[in-house]
Each structure stands twice: as C-alpha cells, then as structure tokens.
Amino acid sequence: MSVNFRDGDFDKIGSVLGVPPRRTGHTVRYEVNNAEQGRKLALEIYPDIAIGRKRGTLISVYTPTAHLQLHFCTGYVVSDMLGELTFVGEDGGKLCGLTVERVGGCSLYANVDRDILSGDFTQLGPEVRHRPVVD
C-alpha cells in the first residue's frame, strides 16, 4: 500500500532538503542546488496516481546525468542528522530505497532482502554496507 502524503510530510521533506516545496496540481517538486560541489537535482512526488493498472505514489529524481524512479512508495525515513531522506517501496520481503541528500546527492538501493536490514551489519562486506549509516 502506498504512503498517503499530507501537507506536513511535504513541509518536513522541504525542511530536511533545505528548500521549500513547489506544488503544481497534485505534484510536489523540490529543487536542490549545491553550487559549491556542482550538484543539482529535482525531486518530484506524485501522490496517488495511476501506475499501470494500479494507483500509488511515484517518486522521481532528476539529475543532469540520471533519472531515477521509485514506484509504489510505501513510506519514507528522515535523517536530519545526515541531511537526507529515503523513500522506500516494499513488496514480497524485498525493499527498494531512493535516498535524496540535502547536498544534492542521491542513491538507489534495489531488491534489498528485508532480513539484511534486521541482521548484523558488521557481518556484511563493505560493498554491501551503506557507509554513512553503518560505519
């Protein structure tokens, strides 16, 4: 089931990213620009739209070199300390996460086994661990 975003969620997301939400119809957009590091991205949230034959929330991130999408977002996690938020989609014990950073970075994690998240991270190889969170 997709997350049901409310106005407070959009304000919270804007606070973490350091930019205000811009609303156009039902779409909410955030533009992050980090001139110092030469990074910029746009985050768009499309709540409750048709995705194929179902309805759900679509998260899109646009950068100068990539376009990433997370279909059927089921929730999100905010980290004020790290200055980032991660949108999550879960189906059949597998998770996908799309992380957006205040400094203009983004990361995509796909088909992560839910058991890994509840296990001992120190037993994972460095190529599997998400360094800012684990180390």
pLDDT per position as a tens digit, 35-61 = 999 999 999 999 999 999 999 999 999
- Average pLDDT rounded to a whole number, residues 2-29: 94
What global pTM score does this model have? 0.85
Q: Which of 134, 130, 117, 73 is nearest to 98 (CA)?
A: 73
3-state secondary structure the chain: CCCCCCHHHHHHHHHHHCCCCEEECCEEEEEEEECCCCEEEEEEEEEEEEECCEEEEEEEEECCCCEEEECCCCEEEEECCCCEEEEEEEECCEEEEEEEECCCCEEEEEEEEHHHHCCCHHHCCCCCCCHHHHC
Place of tokens 């811009």: 22
- What is the structure's pLDDT at 96? 93
- What is the structure's pLDDT at 61? 98
- The per-residue pLDDT for range 107-131, each reduced to its tens digit, is 998 888 877 766 555 555 555 555 4
